[in-house]
Chain A
Amino acid sequence: DTAVSQTPKYLVTQMGNDKSIKCEQNLGHDTMYWYKQDSKKFLKIMFSYNNKELIINETVPNRFSPKSPDKAHLNLHINSLELGDSAVYFCASSQDWGERTDTQYFGPGTRLTVL
């Protein structure tokens, strides 16, 4: 069974379009994350949710909007896509938040290409 899954794996779209990436974890974790990894391979935290509540919201354009319908799912919607949004987006989850350091488990990534 896949612990953290994302769909789609690849996403190619035109500038200005709106797209969504879905993430699900079956680990029973309380915390989920979205990361962006650019061509220089830096992993940058974008958002984090704990029990469906937003706890980290880094400096990310408001074109990016996360949604957590339940604690096993964290989706990312991107409006008005720009060339600079091209990157690999990783979803991750961990057991808890704020009380101890927990290992994060990553999904397979979604490679977004904006043309």
Chain B
Amino acid sequence: GQNIDQPTEMTATEGAIVQINCTYQTSGFNGLFWYQQHAGEAPTFLSYNVLDGLEEKGRFSSFLSRSKGYSYLLLKELQMKDSASYLCAAADSNYQLIWGAGTKLIIKP
């Protein structure tokens, strides 16, 4: 079956760095998305990786290893507004997104 695993919850300190991991098992693979979802709001697009390596976008970076079925989202210089859930989603051979349950990130002052 198809499956996405990510930690349920993580806690980090304002100003620090946090890495949120995601492992995936899909029938075929056509890329991996990270979305941010604040409480009571819609998911919003953060990043998309289809090739191995690190993609940097400001304070956020996303990494992909296709051979390991693994990705991570790296958040630097954490701010209180980064408190949210982070959803990992992999596109399968039919380009359908398989979603993880999300990682709730709590930022403490």
Footprint of B on A, CB under 8 Å? 4, 40-45, 56, 90, 97-109
Q: Is the CB of B87 within 8 A of A100?
A: no
Chain A proximity of B22: nearest CB distance (Å): 14
Interface residue from A44, A100, A106 paired with B95 (Cβ < 8 Å): A100
Residues of A within 8 A of B94 (CB): 98
Contacts A41-B85, A41-B101 given; does A101 touch B41 at CB 8 Å: no
Residues of A within 8 A of B87 (CB): 43
A34 to B50, CA, bound (A): 25
Task: Give the interface SS of chain A, mostly helix, strand, loop or mixed.
Answer: loop
Interface residue from B30, B96, B104 paired with A45 (Cβ < 8 Å): B96
Contacts A97-B95, A108-B41, A108-B42 given; does A40 touch B30 at CB 8 Å: no
Q: Is the CB of B45 within 8 A of A105?
A: yes
Residue B33 interfacial (CB < 8 Å): yes
Contacts A45-B96, A100-B95 given; does A106 touch B101 at CB 8 Å: no
A97 to B17, CA, bound (A): 36
Residues of A within 8 A of B43 (CB): 43, 90, 106
Residues of B within 8 A of A40 (CB): 101
Residues of A within 8 A of B96 (CB): 45, 56
